[in-house]
Amino acid sequence: MVNRYYKMRKTIKISFILVCSLISTLTFSQNQMDDGFKQLVNEASNKLGVSQPNMSDPVTVNAVVVWNKAKDKIAVVVKASILYGWHIYAFVPKTAPYLKSKLVLEIPDNVIPISDWQKPATFLMENNMYVYKGDIVFTRYFSVHRKMKGVAINTGLFYQTCDLKQCLPPQSKTLTLSL
């Protein structure tokens, strides 16, 4: 009786391990992006134009949706240009009076995220704050389970921009993109 119990317990453990392995493999293969799609996204990002920032508008933003060839995945690319001498915040300690930038994204329920936002490099400032400067690109990948023609998503950037002498009021710039 005891021997039979241990055999059954061992069988259950092995079955559990196999099921976990299968789930992990399926999730990895669903979330994996092929190199061709990544290349399309990089090309679209490079071609995406952003208005030139100026003293009255030191941060400009644009965005695009890129489809893969199979039409079952999309990438949302948000590109910003920050005027030289200005920055927006990537990380702010809780004790600092500045606002961290946030990506804005409103998507339909059947557009499923399969990655986190890919973010650009940051620069360390005083007091353990990190900022974005210059031209920056954020990218996030999604799975689309059915045709989404005519459906819109909203995306963009919420930020506070500062130079060494002043900070402007927080601002949100969003765009509506058609799928």
Sorted by where each begins, the domain ranges of the chain are 1-32, 35-178
Q: Where does the pLDDT of residue 2 fall: very low under 50, low under 70, confident under 90, or very high at 90 and above?
A: low
Give CA–CA dist 178/164, Å, rounded. Answer: 38
CA-CA distances (angstroms) from residue 91 to 88, 98, 114, 126, 163?
9, 9, 24, 12, 16
Q: Where does the pLDDT of residue 4 fall: very low under 50, low under 70, confident under 90, or very high at 90 and above?
A: low
Share of the chain above pLDDT 90, in %: 67
pLDDT at residue 19, rounded to an integer: 44
User: Which helix (H) or strand (E) covers residue 13, if one does?
Assistant: helix 2-31
Give CA–CA dist 169/179, Å, rounded. Answer: 32
Q: How many residues does the chain have?
A: 179
More confident residue, 121 or 127: 121
CB-side neighbour CA atoms (13 Å) of 12: 6
Mind listing the pLDDT tens digit for each residue in 55-104? 999 999 999 999 999 888 999 999 999 999 999 999 999 999 999 999 99
pLDDT at residue 21, rounded to an integer: 45
pLDDT at residue 14, rounded to an integer: 56
Give yes or no for residue 120 having a pLDDT over 80. Answer: yes
Least confident of 87-91, 133-137, 149-153: 149-153
Burial of 127 (0-12, 13-18, 19+ CB in 10 A): exposed
pLDDT at residue 3, rounded to an integer: 58
Check: CB of residue 65 under 8 Å from CB of residue 179: yes
Q: What is the mean pLDDT of residues 17-31?
A: 44
Give yes or no for residue 20 having a pLDDT over 50. Answer: no
Give yes or no for residue 1 having a pLDDT over 90. Answer: no
Q: CA-based angle 152:105:91, to the nearest 5?
A: 160
Provide the whole-model pTM: 0.80
From edge to edge, which strands make up the β-sheet containing 152-159? 102-106, 152-159, 171-178
Give the SS3 label for residue 133.
Answer: coil
Class of 35-178 per CATH? mainly beta
Check: CB of residue 81 under 8 Å from CB of residue 53: yes
Give yes or no for residue 28 having a pLDDT over 70. Answer: no
Q: What is the mean pLDDT of residues 165-179?
A: 95
